[in-house]
Amino acid sequence: MRLRILYLWFGIVFPSICTAYAGDESHLPLDWRNDCVGRMQLSLPNNVDIAAMFPKELIRKLDVNRRNWDYHIPYGFEDGSEYGWSSFDYAGELQISLPADERELSQIWINASGMKRQNGIYLKKHHKPFYEIEKKDRARLAWSGESFQKAIFEVGQSVVFWQTRGEPEDQSLRIQRYQKIASGLRSRPLMTSPTEPGVCLPYAFIRDDDAVYRSIATVYRLKEHPDVIVRLIDRNADPIEPPSLRRPETYSASYKLNDFWSQYAAREKSYKSVWFPAGRDVSLTGYKGKAAFVEITRADGSLDYGYTIAVRGNPDATEDTPDLFFSVMRYADAAKVRDIEPISKDELLKLAETIAASVKRRPVVK
């Protein structure tokens, strides 16, 4: 019953009564700066933090001898605050660290060498092939078996760990993808937006020819309003699968909004739409999408708010037409513990719509 009610919320049954644009890019404050996520660009207030993997968590991930397998939120900000909604996929699973100090970098290389050595011992013991791949450009280590490939790269003070799996016959394709990443990867100063074709990650950029699958979810926190978290997801549009494998409605923007907000039913006291009807038609970077603005009642009775936009891309388009998800969430407690007044509901909505108006495909000069 809950799911049925939520579908009514986000416009699957209610007809749309208006189409809105997610703000007006011409009204962006002059002191805002551009950053980029995947193949997209957005503008943000000048002072922001960007989430990436804690170096200590990358050290743990690479440690083949670790005994403690307790779960830790691996992503967060440089002050140590955890936030777990960052994720990166570029022709395989990818992690990128926050800037690491010399001690952390040294331990990362030691643990990566240990992982490579253990993988090789295991495969040779079972009479399976193991390949040491030529180190290229920024790659520190690269190795593979017949069904996987791993590589670790140094990018400024950050580290990128990439791994992918597949059938043995796809080994040559995995080698090509590794070479593409190794030759195209470079460090990227925060709050910059390259004009070359490629994909933006926190602290890094991969130049490419636009042909590689990506799913990039980058998280920002405003320094002046640490209660405000911004997230943008840019990913290739999901291809349509047979109905026996995936229900057709799950591709829609309305479903994705419902899927996002339904998680709050389990861990918060309640949530409800500020708008009625709850789902509004919007345009995000020229693509049609659905927006929702929601009031969250936390378990302790306090209120928070969130603004979300979902866009369904077109997997059959001749030009890349991505699936997009944009959110601006308030966590009032994060401001209160710093003796800062949380952003108001109306200010949050205005901020969210202004940022959303700035989202566009990153201009590229080929």
Q: What would the pLDDT profile of 20-62 be if each residue is shown by its tens digit?
A: 445 455 578 888 999 999 999 999 998 999 999 999 999 999 9
Which helix H or strand E contains 6, and what residues bound it? helix 2-9
Report the distance separating Cα 289 and Cα 313, nearest Å: 9
> DSSP state, 211?
-
Which helix H or strand E contains 130, and what residues bound it? strand 130-132
| Tokens 């038609």 sit on residue | 281
Are the CB atoms for 297 and 268 separated by under 8 Å?
yes
Which helix H or strand E contains 76, and what residues bound it? strand 75-76
> Residue 282 has which token pair?
């919007």
Q: Which amino acid is at 313?
A: G
Q: Given this model, what pLDDT does residue 365 score?
A: 80
Could you give the C-alpha distances from 125 to 62, 118, 120, 122, 128, in angstroms and in order?
A: 21, 11, 8, 5, 8
> Residue 113 has which token pair?
């060498």
Q: Given this model, what pLDDT does residue 19 score?
A: 40
Report the distance separating Cα 356 and Cα 284, nearest Å: 7
Those residues whose C-beta lies under 8 Å from the C-beta of residue 68, and which sit 6 or more positions away, are none
Q: Given this model, what pLDDT does residue 5 score?
A: 38
Peptide bond into 202 cis (omega under 30): no
Report the distance separating Cα 151 and Cα 143, nearest Å: 6
Its pTM stands at 0.91
Report the distance separating Cα 308 and Cα 325, nearest Å: 7
Facing residues of 35 across strands? 42
Q: What string of DSSP letters covers 286-340?
A: TEEEEEEEEEEE-TTS-EEEEEEEEE---TT-SS---EEEEEEEE-HHHHHTTT-
Those residues whose C-beta lies under 8 Å from the C-beta of residue 80, and which sit 6 or more positions away, are 54
Are the CB atoms for 49 and 221 separated by under 8 Å?
yes
Q: Given this model, what pLDDT does residue 166 score?
A: 86
- What b/e string do you get for 169-202 counting C-beta neighbours within 10 Å, with b at 16 or more? eebeebbebbbbbbebbbebeebebbeebbbbbb
> What CATH class is the domain 1-47+223-366?
alpha beta
Report the distance separating Cα 38 and Cα 30, nearest Å: 24
Comparing C-alpha atoms, which of 147, 175, 204, 183 is closest to residue 91? 175
> Residue 349 has which token pair?
């909505």
Report the distance separating Cα 201 and Cα 228, nearest Å: 20
> Residue 174 has which token pair?
């995995």
Facing residues of 217 across strands? 87, 233
Q: Given this model, what pLDDT does residue 25 score?
A: 58
Q: Given this model, what pLDDT does residue 94 score?
A: 95
Comparing C-alpha atoms, which of 222, 227, 218 is closest to residue 345? 227
> DSSP state, 192?
-
The tens place of each residue's pLDDT in the chain, 366 residues long, gives 333 334 434 433 333 334 444 545 557 888 899 999 999 999 999 899 999 999 999 999 999 988 777 888 999 999 999 998 999 999 999 999 999 999 999 999 999 999 999 999 999 999 999 998 888 778 899 999 999 999 999 999 999 999 999 888 788 888 888 999 999 999 999 999 999 999 999 999 999 987 889 999 999 999 999 999 999 999 999 998 888 899 989 999 999 999 999 888 778 889 999 998 888 999 999 999 999 999 999 999 999 999 999 999 999 999 999 999 999 999 999 999 999 999 999 999 999 999 999 999 998 886
Q: Given this model, what pLDDT does residue 279 score?
A: 86
Which residue ranges does the chain devote to CATH 3.40.1000?
A: 1-47+223-366
Work out whether the CA dihedral 73, 231, 235, 77 comes out positive or negative. negative
Those residues whose C-beta lies under 8 Å from the C-beta of residue 236, and which sit 6 or more positions away, are 213, 214, 215, 313, 315, 320, 322, 323
